[in-house]
Amino acid sequence: MHRLTLGDFELSVFSDGTYPLDGGAFFGVIPKVMWSRKIEADENNCVTSGLNSLLIRTGRQTVLVETGMGNKLSPRMAKFYGQPAQLLDNLAAGGVAPEDIDIVINSHLHFDHCGWNTVRDKNGKFVATFPRAKYYAPEGEWQYARHPSERDSISFISENYDPLVASGQMTLLKGGEEIVPGISVKTFPGHTACMLAVIIRRDLASGRDGKRTALAVPSGANADRASALEGTTACYISDLIPTSAHIDLAWGMGFDLYPLQTIESKKQYYARAVPERWLTVFTHDAKMPWAYVGKDELGKMVARRV
Protein backbone atom coordinates (compact mmCIF):
# COMPACT_ATOMS: atom_id res chain seq x y z
CA MET A 1 0.00 0.00 0.00
CA HIS A 2 1.40 3.39 -1.01
CA ARG A 3 0.32 5.94 1.56
CA LEU A 4 1.77 9.11 3.05
CA THR A 5 0.70 12.33 4.69
CA LEU A 6 0.87 15.82 3.29
CA GLY A 7 0.17 18.30 6.05
CA ASP A 8 -3.13 17.06 7.48
CA PHE A 9 -4.07 15.30 4.22
CA GLU A 10 -3.59 11.58 3.74
CA LEU A 11 -2.67 10.42 0.24
CA SER A 12 -3.00 6.80 -0.94
CA VAL A 13 -2.58 5.16 -4.33
CA PHE A 14 -5.20 2.62 -5.42
CA SER A 15 -4.77 0.66 -8.63
CA ASP A 16 -7.32 -0.56 -11.15
CA GLY A 17 -4.74 -3.17 -12.17
CA THR A 18 -2.29 -3.29 -15.04
CA TYR A 19 -2.65 -3.82 -18.78
CA PRO A 20 -0.39 -4.43 -21.76
CA LEU A 21 0.41 -1.41 -23.90
CA ASP A 22 2.45 -1.34 -27.09
CA GLY A 23 5.93 -0.15 -26.08
CA GLY A 24 6.46 1.77 -29.31
CA ALA A 25 3.24 3.74 -28.87
CA PHE A 26 4.06 4.33 -25.21
CA PHE A 27 7.42 5.96 -26.00
CA GLY A 28 6.65 7.68 -29.31
CA VAL A 29 9.80 8.59 -31.22
CA ILE A 30 12.19 7.11 -28.65
CA PRO A 31 14.00 4.05 -30.07
CA LYS A 32 13.40 0.71 -28.39
CA VAL A 33 17.12 0.28 -27.67
CA MET A 34 16.73 3.28 -25.34
CA TRP A 35 13.33 2.71 -23.69
CA SER A 36 13.88 -1.03 -23.22
CA ARG A 37 16.66 -0.18 -20.75
CA LYS A 38 14.02 1.35 -18.49
CA ILE A 39 11.04 -0.93 -18.98
CA GLU A 40 10.80 -4.52 -20.14
CA ALA A 41 8.79 -5.50 -23.24
CA ASP A 42 7.16 -8.91 -23.76
CA GLU A 43 7.20 -11.04 -26.94
CA ASN A 44 4.45 -8.82 -28.43
CA ASN A 45 6.52 -5.69 -27.74
CA CYS A 46 4.07 -4.74 -24.98
CA VAL A 47 5.03 -3.16 -21.67
CA THR A 48 3.03 -3.28 -18.44
CA SER A 49 1.08 -0.09 -17.82
CA GLY A 50 -0.44 0.72 -14.44
CA LEU A 51 -3.76 2.42 -13.67
CA ASN A 52 -3.10 4.47 -10.55
CA SER A 53 -5.83 6.47 -8.86
CA LEU A 54 -5.03 8.83 -6.01
CA LEU A 55 -7.24 8.94 -2.92
CA ILE A 56 -6.99 12.07 -0.78
CA ARG A 57 -8.53 12.21 2.67
CA THR A 58 -8.66 15.85 3.66
CA GLY A 59 -10.28 15.26 7.04
CA ARG A 60 -13.50 16.69 5.63
CA GLN A 61 -13.79 15.04 2.23
CA THR A 62 -12.60 11.90 0.52
CA VAL A 63 -11.42 12.77 -2.98
CA LEU A 64 -10.67 10.25 -5.73
CA VAL A 65 -8.49 11.41 -8.62
CA GLU A 66 -9.08 9.29 -11.73
CA THR A 67 -11.16 6.12 -11.93
CA GLY A 68 -9.08 3.71 -14.03
CA MET A 69 -10.34 1.64 -16.93
CA GLY A 70 -13.55 0.36 -15.36
CA ASN A 71 -15.59 -2.63 -16.50
CA LYS A 72 -17.37 -1.37 -19.61
CA LEU A 73 -14.86 -2.11 -22.39
CA SER A 74 -16.20 -3.56 -25.62
CA PRO A 75 -15.11 -7.16 -26.32
CA ARG A 76 -12.70 -5.83 -28.95
CA MET A 77 -11.02 -3.42 -26.53
CA ALA A 78 -11.04 -6.00 -23.75
CA LYS A 79 -9.10 -8.26 -26.11
CA PHE A 80 -6.35 -5.62 -26.33
CA TYR A 81 -6.31 -4.46 -22.74
CA GLY A 82 -7.72 -7.31 -20.69
CA GLN A 83 -9.94 -4.98 -18.59
CA PRO A 84 -8.36 -5.58 -15.16
CA ALA A 85 -11.21 -3.81 -13.29
CA GLN A 86 -9.65 -4.01 -9.82
CA LEU A 87 -10.22 -0.51 -8.46
CA LEU A 88 -13.38 -1.16 -6.43
CA ASP A 89 -11.90 -4.33 -4.91
CA ASN A 90 -8.69 -2.51 -4.03
CA LEU A 91 -10.60 0.39 -2.49
CA ALA A 92 -12.72 -2.07 -0.47
CA ALA A 93 -9.57 -3.81 0.77
CA GLY A 94 -8.40 -0.38 1.95
CA GLY A 95 -11.69 0.19 3.78
CA VAL A 96 -13.15 2.58 1.20
CA ALA A 97 -16.71 1.98 -0.02
CA PRO A 98 -18.14 3.72 -3.12
CA GLU A 99 -20.47 5.69 -0.81
CA ASP A 100 -17.44 7.11 1.02
CA ILE A 101 -16.23 9.10 -1.98
CA ASP A 102 -17.32 12.75 -1.87
CA ILE A 103 -15.48 14.04 -4.93
CA VAL A 104 -14.18 12.44 -8.13
CA ILE A 105 -11.80 14.36 -10.41
CA ASN A 106 -10.94 13.21 -13.98
CA SER A 107 -7.82 14.71 -15.58
CA HIS A 108 -9.26 13.99 -19.02
CA LEU A 109 -11.83 11.64 -20.50
CA HIS A 110 -9.81 8.89 -22.23
CA PHE A 111 -11.32 5.53 -21.28
CA ASP A 112 -8.40 4.50 -19.06
CA HIS A 113 -8.86 7.55 -16.80
CA CYS A 114 -12.61 7.66 -16.14
CA GLY A 115 -13.73 4.04 -16.58
CA TRP A 116 -15.18 3.54 -13.11
CA ASN A 117 -17.08 6.84 -13.18
CA THR A 118 -20.16 4.81 -14.04
CA VAL A 119 -21.43 1.24 -13.93
CA ARG A 120 -24.43 -0.48 -15.50
CA ASP A 121 -27.19 -1.05 -13.00
CA LYS A 122 -29.38 -4.15 -13.12
CA ASN A 123 -31.66 -2.54 -15.71
CA GLY A 124 -28.72 -1.77 -17.98
CA LYS A 125 -28.81 1.94 -17.14
CA PHE A 126 -25.52 3.79 -16.59
CA VAL A 127 -25.33 5.19 -13.09
CA ALA A 128 -22.65 6.81 -10.94
CA THR A 129 -20.34 4.22 -9.34
CA PHE A 130 -19.80 6.66 -6.47
CA PRO A 131 -23.40 7.62 -5.72
CA ARG A 132 -22.75 10.53 -3.33
CA ALA A 133 -19.83 12.01 -5.24
CA LYS A 134 -19.63 15.29 -7.05
CA TYR A 135 -17.69 14.61 -10.25
CA TYR A 136 -15.38 17.07 -12.01
CA ALA A 137 -13.82 16.93 -15.48
CA PRO A 138 -12.36 19.49 -17.88
CA GLU A 139 -15.00 21.15 -20.04
CA GLY A 140 -12.70 21.34 -23.07
CA GLU A 141 -12.16 17.57 -22.91
CA TRP A 142 -15.89 16.92 -22.74
CA GLN A 143 -16.53 19.22 -25.71
CA TYR A 144 -13.76 17.49 -27.67
CA ALA A 145 -15.04 14.03 -26.71
CA ARG A 146 -18.32 14.78 -28.48
CA HIS A 147 -16.46 15.17 -31.79
CA PRO A 148 -13.05 13.56 -31.39
CA SER A 149 -10.53 13.23 -34.19
CA GLU A 150 -10.28 9.97 -36.11
CA ARG A 151 -6.93 9.52 -34.40
CA ASP A 152 -8.21 9.13 -30.84
CA SER A 153 -11.95 8.52 -31.19
CA ILE A 154 -11.38 4.94 -29.96
CA SER A 155 -10.29 6.38 -26.61
CA PHE A 156 -13.74 7.70 -25.68
CA ILE A 157 -16.61 5.78 -24.08
CA SER A 158 -19.37 8.36 -23.66
CA GLU A 159 -21.16 6.27 -21.01
CA ASN A 160 -18.29 7.19 -18.67
CA TYR A 161 -19.33 10.84 -18.50
CA ASP A 162 -22.41 11.79 -20.54
CA PRO A 163 -24.92 10.30 -18.04
CA LEU A 164 -23.23 12.29 -15.24
CA VAL A 165 -23.25 15.55 -17.21
CA ALA A 166 -26.92 14.95 -18.09
CA SER A 167 -27.88 14.29 -14.46
CA GLY A 168 -25.94 17.30 -13.21
CA GLN A 169 -23.66 15.11 -11.10
CA MET A 170 -20.59 16.15 -13.14
CA THR A 171 -19.33 19.72 -13.10
CA LEU A 172 -17.21 20.80 -16.06
CA LEU A 173 -14.08 22.80 -15.28
CA LYS A 174 -12.27 25.54 -17.18
CA GLY A 175 -8.93 24.74 -15.48
CA GLY A 176 -7.43 26.69 -12.58
CA GLU A 177 -10.27 26.07 -10.11
CA GLU A 178 -9.80 25.12 -6.47
CA ILE A 179 -12.09 22.14 -5.91
CA VAL A 180 -11.77 22.12 -2.12
CA PRO A 181 -9.28 24.07 0.00
CA GLY A 182 -5.83 22.68 -0.86
CA ILE A 183 -6.86 20.78 -4.01
CA SER A 184 -6.84 22.63 -7.32
CA VAL A 185 -6.56 21.85 -11.02
CA LYS A 186 -4.27 23.29 -13.69
CA THR A 187 -4.34 22.74 -17.45
CA PHE A 188 -1.23 21.19 -19.02
CA PRO A 189 -1.80 20.82 -22.79
CA GLY A 190 0.12 18.27 -24.85
CA HIS A 191 -1.34 14.82 -24.39
CA THR A 192 -4.66 16.47 -25.17
CA ALA A 193 -5.62 20.14 -25.43
CA CYS A 194 -7.24 20.57 -22.01
CA MET A 195 -5.86 17.81 -19.76
CA LEU A 196 -5.78 18.84 -16.11
CA ALA A 197 -3.24 18.04 -13.44
CA VAL A 198 -4.46 17.93 -9.83
CA ILE A 199 -2.32 19.90 -7.41
CA ILE A 200 -2.51 19.13 -3.70
CA ARG A 201 -0.90 21.76 -1.55
CA ARG A 202 -0.67 21.98 2.23
CA ASP A 203 0.84 24.73 4.24
CA LEU A 204 3.25 23.08 6.65
CA ALA A 205 1.80 25.12 9.48
CA SER A 206 -1.67 23.74 8.87
CA GLY A 207 -1.25 20.28 10.38
CA ARG A 208 -4.14 19.17 12.53
CA ASP A 209 -2.19 19.66 15.74
CA GLY A 210 -0.26 22.65 14.43
CA LYS A 211 2.86 20.49 14.06
CA ARG A 212 5.00 20.72 10.98
CA THR A 213 4.33 17.55 9.10
CA ALA A 214 5.95 16.82 5.79
CA LEU A 215 6.10 14.12 3.19
CA ALA A 216 8.57 11.31 3.56
CA VAL A 217 11.89 12.52 2.18
CA PRO A 218 13.79 10.10 -0.06
CA SER A 219 16.82 8.56 1.57
CA GLY A 220 20.10 10.11 0.52
CA ALA A 221 18.49 13.46 -0.22
CA ASN A 222 20.78 16.33 0.49
CA ALA A 223 19.01 18.29 3.20
CA ASP A 224 20.95 21.45 2.35
CA ARG A 225 19.68 21.38 -1.20
CA ALA A 226 16.08 20.81 -0.24
CA SER A 227 13.90 23.85 -0.44
CA ALA A 228 11.89 25.18 2.47
CA LEU A 229 8.78 24.17 0.59
CA GLU A 230 9.69 20.49 0.60
CA GLY A 231 6.85 18.21 1.43
CA THR A 232 4.09 20.72 0.92
CA THR A 233 2.88 19.85 -2.57
CA ALA A 234 1.94 16.78 -4.55
CA CYS A 235 0.74 16.70 -8.13
CA TYR A 236 -1.20 14.06 -10.02
CA ILE A 237 0.38 14.84 -13.37
CA SER A 238 -1.64 12.31 -15.40
CA ASP A 239 -0.57 11.70 -19.00
CA LEU A 240 1.81 14.64 -19.17
CA ILE A 241 4.32 12.30 -17.47
CA PRO A 242 2.64 8.88 -17.46
CA THR A 243 5.49 6.95 -15.80
CA SER A 244 8.85 7.57 -14.16
CA ALA A 245 10.40 6.43 -17.47
CA HIS A 246 8.88 9.48 -19.20
CA ILE A 247 10.49 12.22 -17.12
CA ASP A 248 13.00 13.31 -19.79
CA LEU A 249 11.59 16.30 -21.69
CA ALA A 250 11.66 14.57 -25.07
CA TRP A 251 10.22 11.24 -23.89
CA GLY A 252 6.58 11.83 -24.76
CA MET A 253 4.00 9.20 -25.66
CA GLY A 254 3.09 8.41 -29.26
CA PHE A 255 -0.52 8.98 -28.14
CA ASP A 256 0.11 12.68 -27.44
CA LEU A 257 -1.98 14.83 -29.76
CA TYR A 258 0.33 17.86 -29.40
CA PRO A 259 3.86 16.54 -28.73
CA LEU A 260 5.61 19.92 -28.82
CA GLN A 261 3.16 21.23 -26.23
CA THR A 262 3.93 18.21 -24.07
CA ILE A 263 7.54 19.42 -23.95
CA GLU A 264 6.52 23.00 -23.11
CA SER A 265 4.11 21.80 -20.41
CA LYS A 266 6.77 19.55 -18.88
CA LYS A 267 9.18 22.52 -18.77
CA GLN A 268 6.51 24.59 -17.07
CA TYR A 269 5.81 21.80 -14.58
CA TYR A 270 9.47 21.19 -13.74
CA ALA A 271 10.10 24.93 -13.28
CA ARG A 272 8.10 24.67 -10.06
CA ALA A 273 7.99 20.98 -9.21
CA VAL A 274 11.77 20.50 -9.18
CA PRO A 275 12.89 23.43 -7.00
CA GLU A 276 9.87 23.06 -4.70
CA ARG A 277 10.30 19.28 -4.52
CA TRP A 278 6.76 18.35 -5.44
CA LEU A 279 5.75 14.74 -5.15
CA THR A 280 4.78 13.63 -8.67
CA VAL A 281 2.09 10.97 -9.02
CA PHE A 282 2.28 8.87 -12.21
CA THR A 283 -0.93 7.36 -13.62
CA HIS A 284 0.59 4.55 -15.65
CA ASP A 285 3.69 3.49 -13.70
CA ALA A 286 3.06 -0.08 -12.56
CA LYS A 287 6.01 -0.05 -10.14
CA MET A 288 6.63 3.50 -8.94
CA PRO A 289 3.31 5.34 -8.55
CA TRP A 290 4.96 8.44 -7.14
CA ALA A 291 8.42 9.96 -6.88
CA TYR A 292 10.36 13.17 -6.46
CA VAL A 293 11.56 14.35 -9.84
CA GLY A 294 14.77 16.34 -10.13
CA LYS A 295 18.11 16.69 -11.84
CA ASP A 296 21.23 14.71 -10.96
CA GLU A 297 24.76 16.16 -10.89
CA LEU A 298 24.98 15.84 -14.69
CA GLY A 299 21.70 17.68 -15.23
CA LYS A 300 19.83 14.52 -16.24
CA MET A 301 16.23 14.11 -15.03
CA VAL A 302 15.90 11.43 -12.36
CA ALA A 303 12.97 10.09 -10.30
CA ARG A 304 13.82 9.50 -6.66
CA ARG A 305 11.81 6.91 -4.84
CA VAL A 306 9.69 8.00 -1.88
Q: What's the angle, vertex CA 145, arms to CA 142 and CA 150, rounded to 5?
A: 160
Query: Which part of the chain contacts Zn ion (CB under 5 A), choosing from 55-63, 161-169, 237-245, 270-278?
Result: 237-245
Q: Which is nearer to Zn ion, 110 or 277 (CB)?
A: 110
| Shortest distance (Å) from residue 283 CB to Zn ion | 8
| Shortest distance (Å) from residue 172 CB to Zn ion | 18
Q: Which is nearer to Zn ion, 7 or 23 (CB)?
A: 23
| Shortest distance (Å) from residue 127 CB to Zn ion | 24
Residue 269 CA to residue 287 CA, distance in Å, equals 22
* 6, 290 Cβ separation under 8 angstroms: no
The residue among 104, 110, 107, 109 whose CA lies nearest residue 87 is 104
| Shortest distance (Å) from residue 255 CB to Zn ion | 6
Q: Which is nearer to Zn ion, 87 or 214 (CB)?
A: 87
Element holding 48 (H helix, E strand):
strand 46-57
Residue 36 burial (C-beta neighbours within 10 Å; 0-12, 13-18, 19+) = middle
Alpha helices, DSSP H, located in the chain: 23-27, 32-35, 75-81, 87-93, 139-146, 162-167, 259-273
Q: Which is nearer to Zn ion, 135 or 292 (CB)?
A: 135
Q: Which is nearer to Zn ion, 6 or 69 (CB)?
A: 69
> How many Cβ atoms from other residues are within 10 Å of residue 222's Cβ?
6
- For Zn ion, the nearest residue by Cβ is 110
Q: Which is nearer to Zn ion, 5 or 155 (CB)?
A: 155
| Shortest distance (Å) from residue 78 CB to Zn ion | 18
* 96, 66 Cβ separation under 8 angstroms: no
Contacts with Zn ion by CB under 5 A: the residue count is 2
Exposure on the CB side of residue 147, measured as CA atoms within 13 A: 1
Is residue 141 at the binding interface for Zn ion, with CB under 5 A as the rule? Answer: no
Is residue 110 at the binding interface for Zn ion, with CB under 5 A as the rule? Answer: yes
| Shortest distance (Å) from residue 110 CB to Zn ion | 3
Query: Which part of the chain contacts Zn ion (CB under 5 A), choosing from 11-19, 92-100, 106-114, 158-166?
Result: 106-114
Query: Which part of the chain contacts Zn ion (CB under 5 A), choosing from 136-144, 179-187, 208-216, 235-243?
Result: 235-243
Is residue 201 at the binding interface for Zn ion, with CB under 5 A as the rule? Answer: no
| Shortest distance (Å) from residue 258 CB to Zn ion | 12
Element holding 198 (H helix, E strand):
strand 196-201
Is residue 284 at the binding interface for Zn ion, with CB under 5 A as the rule? Answer: no
Helix, strand, coil content of the chain in percent (nearest 5): 25, 30, 50
Is residue 239 at the binding interface for Zn ion, with CB under 5 A as the rule? Answer: yes
Give 228's contacts (C-beta < 8 A, 6+ positions apart).
none
Q: Which is nearer to Zn ion, 6 or 196 (CB)?
A: 196
Q: Which is nearer to Zn ion, 134 or 284 (CB)?
A: 284
Contact residues: Zn ion, CB under 5 A: 110, 239
